[in-house]
Structure 1
């Protein structure tokens, strides 16, 4: 069951990027834009092991995602949730996320530094706020 209302489901499924906010080691927020895939109510993100957002989520899994309708900036979805970090060295989730955005797993492999691992972050919403 998804917490995203029907009125904003199209935005949750099709926004160009999501703004992911995690908590850094000092407790301060750290924000970055990420590609994602909405999969049965769970937001999936692919990230390499050298990224601060991954380290933040391994320590503190609470996070938020913010989605903005670029055709109407007063229409938004804020997702507060808990992240599960899943090893994705076979690029299963990376490929699904890439293909949903018109890219390939090879495109993601090129973004992964040598010697680093690939992870899938699964954000399960616990609260959803919509506007517009």
Structure 2
């Protein structure tokens, strides 16, 4: 099942909720996470790193503007390993599902396939 994945996602959500992020902080943190330069298929990781750095600076500025505690950013960043673990767990579950139900996996929504296609290959079982 997916109990471990679901539990990890809810635990992450619970800990992030405790940080009481503003909409702006959450948006900037989300952007920083999405712009991860360590993806193996990325061609220009240095450019992505520079952009991510700018987003982290904007996030730090936003946190300071709200007079939040200084350790808020470090608490947010400390969640990144858990997020990476959740991502890998999700990819494992997705790969297992794709192998078990290839016809269904071929019909995943286009955005979902686009986001995860760089990590997984969706082969058409009719081509085999």
TM > 0.5 between the two?
A: no
With normalisation by structure 2, the TM-score equals 0.23
TM-score normalized with structure 1 length: 0.23
Query: Whose helix fraction is larger, Structure 1's or Structure 2's?
Result: 2
Ranked by relative contact order (alpha carbons within 8 Å, sequence separation 6 or more), the top structure is 1
Structure 1 or 2: more strand by fraction? 1
Larger radius of gyration: 2
